[in-house]
């Protein structure tokens, strides 16, 4: 038994929540290694829909212990609201554990996120406005506040005062905003300390010991490869490392403990926020995918930009993450569309690129080169085996495997937990 990593292969919202829910049934721990309440992971169980923003979707798995890893940034208010909301619906959040090394998204991070975006104007990233970037910036600048700081009032006060000393200058002098009172911030943060204390653990030790005992640890990545601060479409990215290596760092699990890296990929592509997107559609097909796929952001409600499947990105993500398997979601959305275009390469200023081009400017100029495959008309939502799928859907899946260089182990044919075809059971292999 070992660790399994779930990673978004595109620009997010591929269906990581659903994949976590399925594999979480066999896991002892489900860990969120990166991101914060900028995520939105949907799980549909027995017709009931849950939308997790900060907590791992594994909180809904009956036997697994959910953990917020050291790589996560935590908005304390959002945390308690999400716990209370789930408990009000009958879910049991009492098993939740939190790394003492995780960073806190303080109210001033949210203020800074919003003013910075406004300041950028046309160059804005289109962030979720949740303070994620400023919180990670403070972490790397070594002026962040960690969960463990809540339990030492004098350290907390020193850190908040020192962080706000510089930030208040920026807020007042550059952005023309009011200064933030350090003492009010300290009191606000301390008001969560008692509630959090019983949940806080040394997660590296707890997870390491679980693996030593032969237990299964599922790492539920937030965001996605193309939003990775190192490997994504920088600067139009989030501020963490959602790729597989980041999952190890963000949970304190060594790479040798990972047996499977499962890339979650939609049968088409979507993106929320600004940034390049070569296969984006501006015609009625874009509207069709948005409507049939229900492509509206869980977190901010923004409509998702939609486009065809991009196998250049899928190949790139497979390489960067070392995917062992793919979970292809939303195949049902392509039913009855006549022909399905698949982007197999880019044309960049007249040159064919089969792989991600070197520079940001080249990627901005990339136009997709498509091949097309015939779509199927049969309703596939009831299919539970590969053989039950229409031949054309089988051909489409085989072609995507070929193009992405990775086997497809799961196929989603609807939003529900059971609307899934398992070709390879990686939980059993683990």
- Residue 214 has which token pair? 């032969």
CA distance 98 to 36: 13
Pick out residues in 82-121 that bind ligand GDP (CB under 6 A). Answer: none
- Which residues fall within 8 angstroms of residue 92, CB to CB, at 6 or more apart? none
Which one of the listed residues 26, 53, 109, 139 is annotated catalytic?
139
Judging by DSSP bridges, how do beta strands 309-310 and 339-348 pair with one another? parallel
- Shortest-Cβ-distance residue relative to ligand GDP: 412
Point out which residues bind ligand IMO (CB under 6 A).
8, 12-13, 38-41, 125-128, 130, 132-133, 222-224, 227, 238-239, 272-273
Least CB distance from residue 186 to ligand IMO, whole Å?
25
- Residue 332 has which token pair? 């049902």
Catalytic-residue membership of 113: no
> Considering only residues 415, 421, 426, 427, which one is a binding residue for ligand GDP as defined by CB under 6 A?
415
Closest by Cα among 299, 109, 88, 300 to 188: 109
Q: Which string of x and - marks every residue 6-25 that binds ligand GDP (by CB under 6 A)? A: --x---xxxxxxx-------
Evaluate whether 248 touches 70 at the Cβ level (below 8 Å): no
Least CB distance from residue 13 to ligand IMO, whole Å?
5
Task: Return binding residues.
Answer: 12-18, 38-42, 128, 142, 223, 238, 298-304, 330-332, 412-414
- Nearest CB to Mg ion, comparing residues 18 and 97: 18
- Nearest CB to Mg ion, comparing residues 251 and 329: 329
Least CB distance from residue 136 to ligand IMO, whole Å?
8
The DSSP 8-state label assigned to residue 296 in this structure reads B
Size of the site for Mg ion (CB under 5 A): 3
Task: Return binding residues for GTP.
Answer: 12-18, 40-42, 304, 330-332, 412-414
Pick out residues in 24-83 that bind ligand GDP (CB under 6 A). Answer: 40-42, 44
Catalytic-residue membership of 13: yes
The DSSP string of 345-378 is EEEETTEEESS--SSHHHHHH-EEEEEEEEPP-S
Alpha helices for 242-322 (secondary structure H): 244-249, 284-292, 311-321
The DSSP 8-state label assigned to residue 170 in this structure reads I
Q: How far is CA 5 from CA 162, 218, 228, 310, in A?
A: 37, 6, 15, 22
**Residue whose token pair is 């100029």:** 365
Least CB distance from residue 402 to Mg ion, whole Å?
28
Size of the site for ligand GDP (CB under 6 A): 23
The length of the chain is: 430
Least CB distance from residue 407 to Mg ion, whole Å?
24
**Choosing among Mg ion, ligand IMO, ligand GDP, none, which partner's interface includes residue 413 (Cβ < 5 to 8 Å by kind)?**
ligand GDP
Strands (E), 140-198: none
Catalytic-residue membership of 139: yes
SS3 state at 315: helix
Task: Return binding residues for IMP.
Answer: 13-16, 38-41, 128, 142, 223, 238, 302
Q: How far is CA 98 from CA 26, 86, 287, in A?
A: 21, 17, 40
Start-to-end Cα distance in the chain: 5
Q: Which string of x and - marks every residue 16-55 that binds Mg ion (by CB under 5 A)? A: ------------------------x---------------
Active-site residues, by number, are 13, 41, 139
Provide the binding-site residues for ligand GDP, judged by CB under 6 A: 8, 12-18, 40-42, 44, 294, 298, 329-330, 332-333, 412-415, 419
Provide the binding-site residues for Mg ion, judged by CB under 5 A: 13, 40, 298
């Amino acid at each position: 038994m070992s660790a399994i990593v779930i990673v978004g292969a595109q620009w997010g919202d591929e269906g990581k929540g659903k994949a976590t829910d399925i594999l979480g049934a066999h896991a002892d721990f489900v860990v969120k290694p990166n991101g914060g309440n900028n995520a939105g992971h949907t799980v549909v169980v027995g017709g009931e829909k849950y939308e997790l923003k900060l907590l791992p979707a594994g909180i809904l798995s009956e036997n697994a212990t959910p953990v917020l890893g050291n790589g996560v940034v935590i908005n304390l208010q959002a945390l308690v609201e999400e716990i209370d909301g789930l408990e009000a619906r009958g879910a049991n959040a009492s098993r939740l554990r939190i790394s003492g090394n995780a960073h806190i998204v303080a109210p001033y991070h949210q203020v800074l996120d919003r003013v910075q975006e406004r300041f950028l104007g046309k160059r804005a990233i289109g962030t979720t406005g949740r303070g994620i970037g400023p919180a990670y910036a403070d972490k790397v600048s070594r002026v962040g506040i960690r969960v463990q700081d809540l339990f030492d009032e004098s350290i907390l006060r020193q850190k908040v005062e020192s962080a706000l000393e510089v930030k208040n200058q920026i807020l007042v002098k550059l952005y023309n905003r009011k200064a933030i009172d350090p003492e009010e911030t300290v009191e606000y943060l301390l008001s969560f300390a008692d509630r959090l204390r019983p949940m806080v653990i040394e997660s590296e030790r707890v997870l390491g010991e679980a693996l030593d005992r032969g237990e299964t640890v599922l790492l539920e990545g937030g965001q996605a490869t193309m939003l990775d601060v190192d490997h994504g479409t920088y600067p139009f990215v989030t501020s963490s490392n959602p790729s597989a290596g980041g999952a190890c760092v963000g949970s304190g699990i060594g790479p040798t403990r990972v047996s499977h890296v499962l890339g979650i990929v939609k049968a088409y592509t979507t993106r929320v926020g600004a940034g390049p997107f070569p296969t984006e559609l501006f015609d009625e097909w874009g509207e069709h995918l948005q409507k049939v796929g229900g492509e509206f952001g869980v977190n901010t409600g923004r409509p998702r930009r939609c486009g065809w499947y991009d196998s250049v990105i899928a190949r790139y993500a497979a390489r960067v993450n070392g995917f062992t398997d793919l979970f292809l979601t939303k195949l049902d959305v392509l039913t009855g569309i006549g022909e399905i275009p698949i982007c197999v390469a880019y044309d960049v200023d007249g040159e064919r690129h089969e792989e991600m081009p070197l520079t940001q400017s080249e990627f901005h100029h990339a136009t997709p080169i498509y091949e097309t495959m015939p779509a199927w008309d049969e309703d596939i939502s009831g299919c539970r085996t590969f053989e039950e799928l229409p031949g054309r859907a089988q051909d489409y899946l085989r072609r995507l495997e070929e193009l992405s260089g990775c086997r497809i182990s799961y196929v989603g044919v609807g939003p529900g937990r059971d609307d899934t075809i398992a070709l390879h059971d990686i939980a059993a292999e683990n």
